Structure 1
Amino acid sequence: MSSWMNNMLNRLIWQFKKAPITVSLIGICIIVYILSFFLFGEEMTAYEGLFFGGYNPVYVMVTHEYYRFFTANFIHFGFLHLAVNCYSLYGLGMFIEKSLDFKKYLILIIVTAFMTTGLPYIFYLLTGYGANVVSGGISGVIFGLIGALGALALHYHYIYMDIFKQLAPNVILMLVISFVIPSISLSGHLAGLVSGFICTYILLMFKHQKHVIH
């Protein structure tokens, strides 16, 4: 058992050195879920999710608890929700983090984490849509990584385009699921996708401009 644990620990350290931000995000999500498990059990209700840092536009507007724009990304309403998101984050995050440098990837994560709830909040203020929704989960950031891959494919066409084409059917399927299943935040997914693409493209263009100037 000790040998198995040592191997797991060594592998975790190795993965952390390769992609510290992605591994840290997954670790935070797991720790937060463990805390929610001890408080509420395997699955949380909407009210429990709100208590634990989830996002609801009306609640944010009334209480001015704007930290929920970020904390909502790390709560998950059940083990399956957590497992699917962590698996997707691991696969995409490890790849995108290696493609961008540490600083750019960190900016991408912060921007998409905020926009996943921030843009739906602005949309609520304008239209009143989403007043009864309590959302949580890091899937918006995952869609942001998909958007980032799209920006990389557009900027470095011959390097990333084949990867993006292979991923495209899965992205379409995820968006269709977002439309069909009411409990999934379509606005959060779209906000993450769009903000991830725009943020990454700007970062890549900024890098290009710096090279031209020098």
Structure 2
Amino acid sequence: NEQRAFALNRDGARLLARVAAERGVPIVHMSTVNVFDGTKPTPYVEDDAVAPLSVYGRSKLAGEVDVRVANTRHVILRTSWIYSTTPGTFLPNVLARARAGEILRIIADQHGSPTYAPDLAAAVLEIAAKAYAARTDASSSLWGTYHIANSGPPASWYALTEAACHAAELHEPARQIIAITSADMPTRAPRPLNAALDTGRLLKMHGLELRDWREAVAEAARSLVPSA
């Protein structure tokens, strides 16, 4: 629903940023790789041209614009491919299906920066603490837009699934996982084929680099299959 998306992601974000500014408080605003169209062959940097493909992406981009105007002391964080161990989400689902012996059909032509939710949350809290400490400094170099995701090379959903199955000791993953294309599994909202993010600016300005996504997904997978 386009109206609801903009009400939440643009209007809600603007209201929070404005209220924070009135109280002299910085805002940390979460955004998404979906502000890009995915046609760039390499990971996206913060200054790349934005061109969202979906209502969601357009509403998040509008939120970014309004947050910048409403509160000059802002940290906007774009992230990519968040996953967790929450039941019913991608990783628990594919591991459960693999354990049941199902053949998995996983998209291999989309690439992104897999981001483990606990790693992201810890980093956001650290950034928020730094932002609050710098709240009286309007010219602080901390303010701005950053990309945040687990480090490591871009991965496809297929590679992410294969790594998770391997870590969970679900043997012969190549026989269980079939690579398919986005066209084989269409979604209601178009998604960028390249959703990989360059996080170099975050490291330079905030001194933060999340661990390699392969280490993170291995930890997550083993927690879901304790015998692994």
TM-score category of the 2 structures, normalised to the smaller one: 0.3 to 0.5
Q: TM-score, normalised by structure 2?
A: 0.34
Structure number with the higher strand fraction is: 2
The structure carrying a bigger helix percent of its residues is 1
- Structure with the bigger RCO (C-alpha within 8 Å, sep 6+) is 2
Q: TM-score, normalised by structure 1?
A: 0.36
